[in-house]
A and B are shown apart, each in its own frame.
Chain A
Amino acid sequence: MQILKNRGVFIALLLVGLLLPLFTDSQPVLLLFTRIFILAIFAMSYDILLGYTGIISFGHVMYFGIGAYSISLLLKHGGESWVNVLLAALIAVILSAIVSLIVGILSLRLKNTYYAMITLAFAELFHIVSLKWRSLTYGEDGFNFSSQIPDFLKDRFYFYYISFIALLLVGYFLYQFTKSPTGKVLVAIRENEARAEMLGFSTLYYKLISSTVAGVVASLSGILYAISYRYVGSASVFGMDKTIDALLMTIIGGVGTLFGAIIGAGIINLAHQFLADLANFHPIFERWLIFFGILYILIVMFFPSGILGTFNKYKYKFQSRKVERDKSHANSS
């Protein structure tokens, strides 16, 4: 398992995740971390598109929303049952795979900019349907389905661990995917699509795979997100700002690093919480979005490769220098 090469980071992450609930029983803290894990899954799915395939999507939130609405509608109308939870997961996976394939077939033959535009259009379509189909979705108000969620999933302590295990599993599968022969071709497409095609790879099929994997994973994060809020509303799960959040989490963590998305999700959600709390000290922090904007600009200016990307760059430089030094030592002796 190559993942164990970054053993230090992996074990630290695992320990923090596993032990945190033992040090705090504060529900808000557990909920904050639960949402960090869920949004990290969403951001990792976005990184498969942006970081590994070089495709930008402005409508990635639609898969997130498909997942969120699948679980909420099934539980709301079907009642509390584990069968409904599993059925919702199945429906979300199938639906998001179909939608990502349709969107991909419509746009990926052309330049990647068309993909960005088509995803934006489809996401808006889903948003509008969820707004207007009031009899089913309760429109803008959304609906609470707290009483239909199985008790096990309602327990914040258990749900924390469910989200954490989901993050570990998705992280592991996506890591394997990026290291697989298919993942290598995706990176080749990001680097030089025309050349990848000249090597004999059907770049369209590979881009469709990337789009589908990203869509399915995003829908799973949508399911967990809806359960964590016990509520679903069109703006909260189909709003454009969720796609922008995924983009920012990926950029801050490091595009094309996969696990950078976890760092990005952590920073954004903690900063969100921290800056909003500072409003108690000074009223200027009521406008915390301004500070958020400044934080983004600073990170993009000073860490264009993101936090993990910058770390990896220095690590690579350090290793290259070490190899050079070893070589010159060997030559001189």
Chain B
Amino acid sequence: METLLELKEVSIQFGGHTAVDRVSLQIPVKQFTSIAGPNGAGKTTLFNLISGQLRPTSGTLMYRGKDITLLPPYKRARLGMGRSFQITNVFPHLTVLENVRLAVQSQQNIGYKFFESIILSKQLKDKAIYWIEQVNLSAKTNELAITLTHGEKRKLEIAILLALESELLLLDEPTAGMSLEEVPTIIELLLEIKEKKDRTILLIEHKMDMLMELSENLFILNHGKLIAQGNPQAIMNDPIVQAAYLGGYDEQFA
């Protein structure tokens, strides 16, 4: 199967602490892949390395066979990598529409235009409204992002990501902090994207039922190391993974 993103022996150290330790993995194209692991396993750090917010201490990252290890985040985004954040990270004093419009503007590669064009403005707005509808946030289109509830902000985060129309979606715990009633909406949304089979998705998630429902491939991280990978069902029955989640991994396997 064709590989979209490949990590080769990627590590990052903060002082004496190795947050990600020689991780090598391959993300197959147009598949739903997840990364799981206990708190502090290095999942978000790994995402920061993939999206370019951090540079690895050693190792290489390849995207479609091209070395992207030293590329800044905006160039990775231009290559087709879109990322959502665990802690909602929207533009707080812009409206929902303006937030999504920016993503549409980036996707359409408008460049440095210094004058407002009514036609272009309408195109961007219409497209943004389309993506806002996709995440059921139409009622809040003209509200400032700062006034949204946590769940709505998460939806906005996903709308921004979808509007980028990225080839690779990096989703960092998209349901974190959401109420139980709101979680199914997001899962449904992710299932819809998955069923379309036109994007590659890399998800970080804690919730086991969600991982099992969505993932085609699963990677387990613990203490910055990759300890298991493969089919989700098989992995969850793996005693190493169970020990990592329930405790006792260090004594048994380290």
For the complex formed, measure the closest distance between the CB of B205 and the CB atoms of chain A, giving whole angstroms. Answer: 20
Name the residue among A180, A203, A320 with the largest chain B CB count within 10 angstroms: A180
Select from chain B the residue with minimum beta-carbon distance to A209.
B112
Whether B92 lies near A199 (C-beta < 8 A) is no
Query: Given the complex of chains A and B, what is the CA–CA distance between A48 and B15 in angstroms?
Result: 40
Q: Are A200's CB and B78's CB within 8 A?
A: yes
A181: chain B residues at CB < 8 Å are: 105, 110-113, 116, 120, 124
B98 interface contact, C-beta 8 A: yes
Which one of B74, B113, B160 lies within 8 Å of A197 (CB-CB)? Answer: B74
Tally of A interface residues using CB under 8 Å: 28
In the bound complex, how far is the Cα of B83 from the Cα of A301, in angstroms?
Answer: 39
Are B77's CB and A200's CB within 8 A? Answer: yes
Contacting B74 at CB < 8 Å: which of A180, A203, A320?
A203
**Is A2 part of the contact surface with B, judged by Cβ < 8 Å?**
yes
- Say whether B164 faces chain A, with CB atoms less than 8 Å apart: yes
**Are B112 and A199 within 8 A (Cβ)?**
no
Q: Are B91 and A191 in contact (CB under 8 A)?
A: yes
How many angstroms between the C-alpha atoms of A200 and B103 in the bound complex? 9
A residues 21-46 in Cβ contact with B at 8 Å: none
Complex CA–CA separation, A326 to B105 (angstroms): 32
Residue of A nearest to B89 (CB): A195
| Shortest Cβ distance from residue A219 to the other chain B in the assembled complex, whole angstroms | 18
Query: Is A176 close to B, CB under 8 A?
Result: yes
B92-125 CB contact bits vs A (8 Å, 1 = yes)? Answer: 1110001001110111001111111000100010
B91, A185: Cβ atoms closer than 8 Å: no
Question: Cβ of B72: which chain A residues have Cβ within 8 Å of it?
Answer: 197, 202
Q: Within 8 Å CB of B111, what residues of A?
A: 181
Is B51 interfacial (CB 8 A cutoff)? yes
Query: Are B106 and A201 interface neighbours, CB within 8 A?
Result: yes
* B231 in the interface (beta carbon within 8 A): no
Q: Are A200 and B164 in contact (CB under 8 A)?
A: yes
CB of A177 within 8 A of chain B? Answer: yes
- With A180-B116, A182-B113 known as contacts, the answer to whether A187 contacts B94 (CB < 8 A) is yes
CB atoms of B74 and A184 under 8 A apart: no
B101 neighbours in A (Cβ, 8 Å): 184
CB-contact partner of A179 in B85, B90, B110, B116, under 8 A? B116
Taking the closest CB of chain B, its distance from the CB of A233, in whole angstroms, is 35
CB of A265, distance to nearest CB on chain B (Å): 24
Instruction: Judge whether B73 is part of the interface by a CB distance below 8 angstroms.
Output: yes
For chain B, residues 4 to 40, give those with C-beta under 8 angstroms from any C-beta of chain A.
Answer: none
A192, B90: Cβ atoms closer than 8 Å: yes
Given A184-B105, A191-B94, A194-B53: A199 touches B164 (CB 8 Å cut-off): yes
Decide: A197 near B73, CB < 8 A? Known: A181-B105, A184-B102, A185-B102. Answer: yes
Q: Is the CB of A199 within 8 A of B106?
A: yes
Contact with A along B141-162 (1 / 0, CB 8 A): 0110000000000000000100
Assuming A184-B98, A192-B90, A192-B91, is B74 touching A200 (CB within 8 A)?
yes
A198 at the interface (CB under 8 A from B): yes
Pick from B91, B93, B101 the residue with the most CB of A within 10 Å.
B91
Output the least CB separation between A323 and chain B (Å).
Answer: 8
Considering the complex, give the chain A residue whose CB is closest to the CB of B102. Answer: A188
Note all chain A residues with C-beta closer than 8 A to B82.
198
- Judging by beta carbons under 8 Å apart, are B115 and A195 in contact? no
Chain A residues with CB under 8 A of B98: 184
Residues of B with C-beta under 8 A to A199? 74, 77, 102-103, 106, 160, 164
Indicate the member of A176, A199, A201, A205 with the most B CB atoms within 10 Å.
Answer: A199
Q: Which of B50-98 contact A (CB under 8 A)?
A: 51, 53, 72-74, 77-78, 82-83, 85, 89-94, 98
Contacts of B91 in A (CB 8 A): 187-188, 191-192, 195-196
Contacts of A197-230 to chain B: CB distance below 8 A = 197-203, 205, 209
Q: Which chain B residues border A203 with CB–CB below 8 Å?
A: 74
> Chain A's nearest CB lies how many Å from the CB of B120?
7
Shortest distance from the beta carbon of A3 to any chain B beta carbon, whole Å: 10
Chosen A-B contacts, 15 in total, with CB atoms closer than 8 Å, are A179-B116, A180-B115, A191-B94, A192-B91, A192-B92, A195-B91, A196-B91, A198-B53, A198-B73, A199-B106, A199-B164, A200-B74, A200-B106, A200-B107, A203-B74
Q: What 9 pairs across the A-B complex have the smallest Cβ distances?
A: A200-B77, A191-B91, A200-B106, A179-B116, A181-B113, A199-B106, A181-B110, A197-B74, A197-B73
